[in-house]
Chain A
């Protein structure tokens, strides 16, 4: 039996009656406690910058965060799109920020750009995946986990003055369900005011007509809804970045010096840089993080788990908890494993039997051969014995004959010798 947790906002709310306090309790410090805790922990923010090579991604980051990140000038001849992530530790007053900037390398340079968006999508998914893995671990440390999920994606639009490029449209369409997209018009000091107005309208209408969902600054919180609504109408921001400073009046400001004038980055009349900084960093940074977690990450997680076969309701439409599904999966997996083991064992036994019969067969063969050889051997032996006997017989006979012959010869010699003696005597 499960304990039903009454959530506020459901009809069982009627049981929670509002009480009035007769004095100061002090739980109004809860937000402060939260803030203190987060400040001690430090914050983490990850920005992805997508744009053509040389469009000004690194310069804008330098300008936004008022510092000089290490920047490499990329070549236009990269064979495919890569992503380069760099992490920095920044501090402002007593707030620490772990900032990760991810830049595309070689985006928009290839002749065939059909695969360009895929590398970006893969990168974003990889970050979601590693968070999911951490979440599913048995021994988790989400507290210390370095969240690398992309919180904001700045998409840099080239200032052609006409409309979006085909690559822009295709890429943003693939990314709008995975990340908070904030489109910006880069190098906006090449577009005049009237052209800019038309350009922005054209871009937004193209995005709308193609169903691309860019990030909308939240308007549900009254303290910021007014400014956010106004800013939503100025999207996309036309920005100019600069790491160089020019003296205007008696101050050094970030600017670009042309023969016909000086473009001041922080002059709201010249470009929307200040608005971007305000919206991205000062007002909505926390909302961007929240949206990433509650909307984009949850969508990823749900899709991933559904792929793996998890559901929230079983075929009879009864709620199924993750644990049950997990158990069922595990059971299935173990059963599978056992079956495989059994199969392998059977196979092994079979093999052994086969080998045994083979060996026995071989043994029998050998035995037969041995018998045969033995027989042959004894046959040969008896033949040889016979031959020996006959040979001995022959030898005996021969020696007898020899003896007899010698005897005869001796007698005849004696007789001859006598005769000779006689002859000699007679002389």
Chain B
């Protein structure tokens, strides 16, 4: 049983010839053009997965993208993990569907939360994210910007263990360290160990704790008012289900006459894509089918811009201290707000406004007799 979320296509339907003939300009085909160009260019997406080992991260990634990314993985023993440090491992794959190409990068963080002493275990991860931002910043400010590689992390799935009563100190610290650098999407992992009541209780608890600790997780954008009711309903359901409780599987089992991805137990079969079993379908739809681009936009417009602004401010404050222009990045002279300049700008603005208003009045004065005559006719 699969649910299709209707992706509202913006391609306009060609209007009937018999309806009123308006002046045809043709820019209604712009969405088409955008669509065509983007298919040609291809898309890229970087997804980070974080959480203790054994939470089912790799299995979920395999289930999401219907592939096997982790064929030759070596897992560490408990003894080796006592003093383990966090590593960052990137897997990049090119996948294609109906002519649309996607370059998918999965950033793994093995070792997170596994050592006996986990103080600041999130540091390698924040360092990595900052590195990607810095790389992009350099590239963007460079002279030759033809082939910029965007390696910035667009989304971070954080796996919360379902065995406890809510968030743990390591969960809170990690999310707080990352919430202003990347879109954090918390998930309840291995949800097949919780009954529906327990899931609800845990979700409420986690939501309340996220708010209490001031963690800024990724917020779904509000629906446009012109979206259809079905889409709005689905969007509302999605928002109420957060954090999503997921189950992943690497194996295909036979259930109710069909072959589905699932987990086989002596007491029943858990179907990964069954909406009454878990929120996997919602996650997939959200992540891939409806909000992938929004995740990228928020990363570019919010997180990256914050990083950039912070970077520039740090640099200029450093430069005013020592008078050496060592940085290779060209900095505009007007980066910090200047009170004098602001005032001048405001004055000029007002001047222009006055001029415009006067022009309008002149013109209406001239046009008034014309309008009246038209009206009387």
- Interface positions of A (Cβ within 8 A of B): 52-56, 73-77, 109-114, 158-170, 186-187, 189-190, 192-193, 206, 209-210, 256-264, 267, 269-270
Contacts and interface: CB of A to CB of B under 8 A. Distances in A.
Nearest to A167: B116
Nearest to A258: B195
B292 interface: no
8 contacts: A74-B165, A111-B121, A114-B117, A158-B54, A159-B193, A189-B265, A190-B190, A258-B196
B303 interface: no
Contact of A258 (B54, B164, B268): B268
Contacts, number: 133
B186 to A, nearest CB: 15
A261 B268 contact: yes
Given A190-B193, A192-B263, A54 B77 contact: no
B193 A163 contact: no
A114 B118 CA distance: 10
A111 B185 CA distance: 22
Contacts of B117: 111-114
B79 A169 contact: yes
A259 B277 contact: yes
A170 B116 contact: yes
A111 B118 contact: yes
Nearest to B80: A166
Contacts of B77: 163, 206
A163 B163 contact: no
Contacts of A187: 163, 193
B78 interface: yes
Given A163-B78, A166-B114, A260-B268, 5 more contacts: A75-B165, A158-B161, A189-B267, A270-B266, A270-B267
A210 B195 contact: no
A54 B84 contact: no
Per DSSP, chain A at the interface is: loop
Nearest to A112: B117
Interface residues of B, number: 46
A260 to B, nearest CB: 4
Per DSSP, chain B at the interface is: loop
A160 B53 contact: yes
Contacts of B81: 165-166
Given A110-B169, A187-B193, A269 B266 contact: yes
Contacts of B168: 53, 76, 109
Contacts of A262: 267-268
A6 B170 CA distance: 63
A73 B165 CA distance: 8
Counting from the closest, the 9 A-B pairs by CB-CB distance are A160-B54, A261-B268, A190-B193, A54-B164, A261-B267, A260-B268, A164-B78, A166-B82, A169-B78
B79 A258 contact: no
A128 to B, nearest CB: 26
Nearest to B118: A111
Contacts of A192: 263-265
B75 A76 contact: no
Interface string B146-185: 0000000000000001111111111001000000000000
B53 A162 contact: yes
A39 B24 CA distance: 101
A259 B197 CA distance: 11
B163 to A, nearest CB: 5
B317 to A, nearest CB: 33
Contacts of B170: 111
Contacts of A210: 78-79
B279 interface: no
A256 B195 contact: yes
Contacts of B167: 76
A77 B271 contact: no
Nearest to A256: B195
A76 B276 CA distance: 29
Nearest to A261: B268
